[in-house]
């Protein structure tokens, strides 16, 4: 285990709760660190329930292809913590990460602070000390009291689709959750709003009026007007622009890239070339989102007659997207491998897609507070009594061996958690650069 991993383990012990939404602890530490959050490059701040990471991946790729230096902060990581912090496009190295974490640990002096708060402080230190043109900043959870929202100003705030998720922290209905998410909106700022339910739209419009902000709303100020074979047309402020389709899989990725493009067009700070924008769209990579595992270690277990797909989706909105994809897999045996963490609802997640599958395999998730497979099975037997083809396995390798023994060919979808996605990618030998 390297030095930074040892420090990260210690930092996890500084607060009894994994999540405790407040900015007071972080504000206190940042003062001791000479307020690095006030010395950041221009920030594009992204909140929402679904699509945040994909939107950021498109923004990063497009800006990079146009020659800009870009810092990025995202969470959670899939394989190693360094993925969360990119310094001018490169993953932070272990030596620099360790020095930042030690500095934060020393200044915090053992006081209570959550893991996400103190590691966000470390990220802000890094971003404040190395010049860049832009910082892409993803909220961890919520918005109003999320550690990333300690920033004072942003170049632009993006709100991706909001749906029911993290109800144990953010609220038990959509209005409460949306109120938390839109807490990132700043006075007289620029706001990009993705496709939303009407109740959320009204809420955000009211907040925009209060903040005297400028709103670019999907369906009003911008929209996808046409999808062609290899391209799509985005209408922005009454003008049509044709772009190449992204390489990331699924029609929902056209919506995600359109949100990124709308923000780029609204910001107008950077001069970008259409050719390089398209290159950025095609080059964007975001592992664990409808990712085809076609040439790794896991494919060898099931063989060429099976397709392996991986998606970290874990809520009802993600389930709808997966249903759309699965619905295209006509005349195929479909096997679903699922693992979920506490606080998620496996019944709601599976309700729409369960009738499409031939077998459901439930897995535990290592090193995280997961829902035990037998608990999920029990819940499904009560709520989805008509579906009986459920197995449990100890890990992904055992699950794939079971599939290869039972079926001749088919499509395998692994989903339910980004933590599970990380485990699968690690087992597959996948490298994130």
Token pair belonging to 432 = 């994130």
What's residue 9's pLDDT?
A: 86
Strand partners, 292: 309
Burial 278-302 (b: 16+ CB within 10 A, else e): bbbbebbebbbbbbebeeeebbebb
E-assigned strands of 184-256?
190-193, 214-217, 222-227, 231-236, 239-244
Split the chain (433 residues) into runs of 10 and give each run's mean pLDDT. Answer: 81 73 91 98 95 96 98 96 97 96 96 94 98 97 90 96 66 81 93 94 94 96 94 96 94 95 95 97 94 94 96 86 90 94 88 89 88 91 77 96 96 95 96 90
Backbone angles phi, psi at 106, to 5 degrees: -65, -45
Cβ 423 vs Cβ 337: under 8 Å? no
Cβ 257 vs Cβ 218: under 8 Å? no
Place of tokens 């200044």: 107
Cβ 53 vs Cβ 139: under 8 Å? no
Domains of the chain: 3-283 (3.40.1190.10), 291-428 (3.90.190.20)
What's residue 311's pLDDT?
A: 94
As a whole number of angstroms, the distance between CA 294 and CA 317 comes to 26
């Amino acid at each position: 285990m390297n030095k930074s991993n040892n420090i990260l383990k210690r930092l996890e012990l500084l607060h009894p709760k994994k999540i405790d939404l407040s900015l007071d602890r972080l504000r206190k530490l940042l003062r001791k660190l000479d307020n690095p959050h006030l010395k950041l490059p221009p920030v594009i701040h992204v909140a929402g329930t679904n699509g945040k990471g994909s939107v950021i991946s498109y923004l990063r790729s497009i800006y990079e292809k146009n020659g800009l230096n870009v810092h990025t902060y995202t969470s959670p990581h899939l394989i190693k913590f360094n993925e969360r912090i990119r310094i001018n496009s490169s993953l932070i190295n272990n030596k620099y990460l360790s020095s930042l974490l030690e500095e934060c640990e020393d200044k915090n002096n053992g006081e209570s602070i959550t893991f996400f708060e103190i590691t966000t402080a470390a990220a802000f230190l890094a971003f404040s000390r190395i010049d860049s043109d832009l910082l892409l900043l993803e909220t961890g959870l919520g918005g109003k009291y999320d550690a990333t929202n300690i920033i004072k100003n942003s170049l632009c705030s993006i709100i991706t689709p909001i749906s029911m998720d993290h109800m144990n922290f953010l609220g038990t209905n959509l209005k409460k959750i949306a109120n938390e998410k839109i807490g990132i909106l700043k006075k007289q700022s620029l706001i990009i709003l993705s496709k939303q339910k009407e109740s959320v739209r009204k809420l955000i419009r009211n907040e925009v009026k209060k903040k005297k902000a400028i709103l670019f709303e999907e369906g009003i100020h911008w929209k996808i007007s046409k999808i062609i074979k290899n391209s799509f047309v985005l209408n922005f402020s009454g003008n049509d622009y044709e772009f190449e389709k992204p390489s990331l899989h699924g029609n929902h990725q056209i919506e995600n890239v359109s949100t990124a493009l709308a923000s780029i067009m609204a910001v107008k700070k950077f001069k970008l070339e259409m050719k390089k924008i398209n290159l950025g769209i095609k080059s964007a990579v975001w592992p664990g989102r409808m990712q085809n595992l076609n040439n790794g270690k896991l494919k060898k277990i099931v063989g060429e007659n099976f397709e392996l797909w991986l998606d970290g989706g874990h809520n009802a909105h993600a389930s709808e997207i997966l249903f759309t994809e699965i619905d295209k897999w006509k005349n195929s045996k479909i096997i679903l491998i699922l693992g979920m963490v506490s606080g998620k609802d496996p019944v709601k997640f599976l309700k729409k897609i369960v009738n499409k599958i031939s077998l459901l395999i439930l897995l535990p998730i290592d090193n995280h507070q997961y829902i035990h497979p037998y608990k999920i099975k029990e819940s499904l037997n009560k709520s989805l009594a008509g579906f009986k083809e459920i197995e449990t396995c100890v890990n992904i390798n055992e699950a794939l061996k079971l599939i290869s023994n039972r079926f001749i060919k088919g499509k395998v979808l692994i989903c339910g958690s980004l933590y599970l996605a990380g485990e699968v990618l690690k087992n597959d030998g996948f490298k994130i650069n």
